[in-house]
Amino acid sequence: MNYMLTNHIKFRMRGILLIFMSMIIACNSQTDEVQPMTAFEFNEIDIVQIQADYKSGKYSIQNLVQAYLQRIESIDRSGPTLNSVIQINPDALQIAGVLDAEMKVGQTRGPLHGIPILLKDNIDTHDKMPTTAGSRALKDSYPLQDSFVAKKLRAAGAIILGKTNLSEWANFRGELSSSGWSGVGGQTHNPYMLSRNPCGSSSGSGVAVSANLTVLAIGTETNGSIVCPSTSNGIVGVKPTVGLVSRSGIIPISYTQDTAGPMARTVRDAALCLGVLVGIDKADGKTLASQGKSYSDYTQFLKADGLKGKRIGHFTGPRGANYKVDVLMDETLAYLKSQGAEIIEVDRITESAVGSASFNIMLFEYKDGLNKYFESLGSEASIKSLEDLIAFNNSDEIEMTFYNQKYLEMAQEKEDLNSDDYKESLATMLKGARDEGIDRVMDEHRLDAIMAPTGSPAWETDHINGDSFQLGSSSPAARSGYPNITVPMGFVDELPVGVSIFGRAWSEPVLLEIAYAYEQGTKHRKAPRFLD
C-alpha cells in the first residue's frame, strides 16, 4: 500500500513538474529552448582547430574524448534520444591517454592524431565491440581482425569512439523498411526535427556528425547510403570511386558498387580523412586500379576560387519532384555562374535498363559476399551462411516486426557468379553507366563535373509505409562506381538539403575543388536545433 501511494505521489509531482516546465518553455524563445543542446564547448569544431588546441595545450586528447563521450550519453542516449550510436568503445579513453603520451614526446601518428571518429556498424573492428550490421543475428559477433579502414584510421592516430546505428543490413533486407532502423539499435532520429527520418543506410554516422557527437564518421554506400544521410543531416559526405578505399572487413552488398567514405561537417575535414583511408589492399582486388590515382593529402586541391572556369553539367532529372528543392538548386546555379562557372543542362545520363541490371547484380553479389563474410568469422560463429541468417530472422521476435526480408530471400535463390545472367547484367550496367552514361555525357559537353540536388528534405519516419523518397541523384555515380560528394546547399524550413557533385572515375581532386569553393562561398551548414 505504501509503495503504491509513494508512486502515486511521484506521478502527481512529475505531472506538476512537466506542466511547470512547459510554462517556462512557452515564455522563452526557441533559441533558449535548444541552448543546452547546442551549448557544447566543441560545437562545430574542425580538425585544424583541434590540432592547434592540442599544440597550444588548451586541452588534452583525453579531455576531448571525455567531452564527446559525455555528449553522446546526454544527447544520444537520453535527452532527444537520437539513437545514432549503437555502441561505445570501452577503451576509447585509454587509447586517448596513449596518444596524449605520444604527443607529449613530440610523436604523432598521422593527420588524424587524437581525432575522435565513429564507424558505421558494418565495418569490422578487432576489439571489444561486435560488428552487427544492426542485426540481432550478429549482436555477439566479434571479427577476427580489423577492417582495412579501421587499420588505416588507427595508424593515422584516430580514436574510434564507437559504432553507429544503421539501416539494418545497409538497407538491403526487405520491402517497406524505415531508414535508420535496426533490430539492435532501434530507430535513429534526425537531429533537425526528431520526428523526421535521418535517411540511410549510414544513418547514425550522418546524425552523429551533424549533432556534434564526433568530429568524423565513416559511412558505406552501395547506392545513396553516404550521400542521402549526409543531405538529410546537413553535412558533407564523400562517396569515393570504387577501389579508392578497401572494402575488406566491411559487411558487403555489392562487390561492384560498395565503398566506404568519410562524413564530416566541412569539406576540409572530409578531405583530410579521405587521404588517410586510401591504399592498395591485396584482400580487395578493386584497389589495384587506384595505383597512381590516389593521394595521401587531398587538402592540396581545396581552392577558394575552384569554381572559376569550370564547365558543370546540371542534371535536370530530379527537377519537378519538389519545387522547394528546385528553388534552392536555382540559387545554387546562380551562385556557380557568379563565380565564373559555365552551366550546361543535362536531361539524361543513363537508360532505365541500367537500374534493373544493377539490382540483379546486387542480388548475385550479396549472396556471394555475405557467405564469404560469414566464413571469415571463423568456425565459432553462430551464423555461417545467408541461409542461416534467413532462418534466424524468421525465428526472432523483433527482426520481422516492421518489414520483411524479401531481398535476402531473393539473393538466396541466385546462382553463383559464373551465371550467364550475372555476367550479362554486369556488362549491361557497366556499359550503360560508364561508356554510355557519365563518360558519354562528360565527353559530349566537355564537363568537369555534374551537379544535382542530393535529395528532398527529410520525411516523417513511418514504420507502416516505410521510407518516402521524393527525389535523388545518387544512382549514376553509384552504378558506375564513380565518385560523388554532397555539400549543404540550404534549408527547406528547418530541414537541410544538399547538392551532389559527381564525375569520372578518380576525379576526387576536381570534385573536392568545386565542393570546397561552393562551401566556402555559401556557408550553408548550420548545426541542428533538435526540434520536437
Pairing state of beta strands 186-187 and 181-182? antiparallel
Asked if 501 contacts 487 with a C-beta cutoff of 8 angstroms, the reply is yes
Q: Which of 60, 84, 120, 507 is catalytic?
A: 120
Question: Is 152 one of the catalytic residues?
Answer: no
Examine the residue annotation and report whether 201 is marked as an active-site residue of this protein: yes
CA distance 184 to 199: 17
At 79 the pLDDT is 80
State the pLDDT at residue 475.
98
Question: What number is the average pLDDT over the span 484-497?
Answer: 98
Which residue of the set 84, 147, 179, 201 is catalytic?
Answer: 201
pLDDT computed for residue 36 by the predictor: 59
- For strand 236-239 and strand 484-492, is the pairing parallel, antiparallel, or unpaired? antiparallel
Return the SS3 of 63. Answer: helix
Residue 202 to residue 204: CA distance in whole angstroms:
6
**pLDDT, average across residues 470-474:** 97
Looking at residues 484-504, what average pLDDT do you find? 98
* pLDDT over 60 at 14, yes or no: no
Domains with residue ranges and CATH for the chain: 47-354+423-522 (3.90.1300.10)
Task: Identify the pLDDT of residue 499.
Answer: 99
pLDDT of residue 80: 81
Distance CA 422, CA 78 (A): 47
Question: Would you tell me the crossing angle of helices 353-376 and 420-430 to the nearest 10 degrees?
Answer: 120
Helical H segments across 342-491, by residue range: 353-376, 386-395, 406-412, 420-430, 439-445, 475-480
**pLDDT surpasses 80 at 12:** no
Q: pLDDT, tens digit, for every residue of 59-105?
A: 999 999 999 999 999 999 888 899 999 999 999 999 999 999 999 99
Which one of 177, 225, 254, 456 is the catalytic residue? 225
In this prediction, residue 301 carries a pLDDT of 98
pTM, entire model: 0.93
pLDDT at 190: 98
pLDDT > 60? residue 328: yes
How does the average pLDDT of the chain come out, rounded? 93
Q: Say how far apart CA 210 and CA 30 lie, in whole Å.
A: 19
150-188 per-position pLDDT tens digit: 999 999 999 999 999 999 999 999 999 999 999 999 999
CA distance 337 to 79: 44
Give pLDDT, residue 503: 98
Residue 310 annotated among the catalytic residues of the structure? no
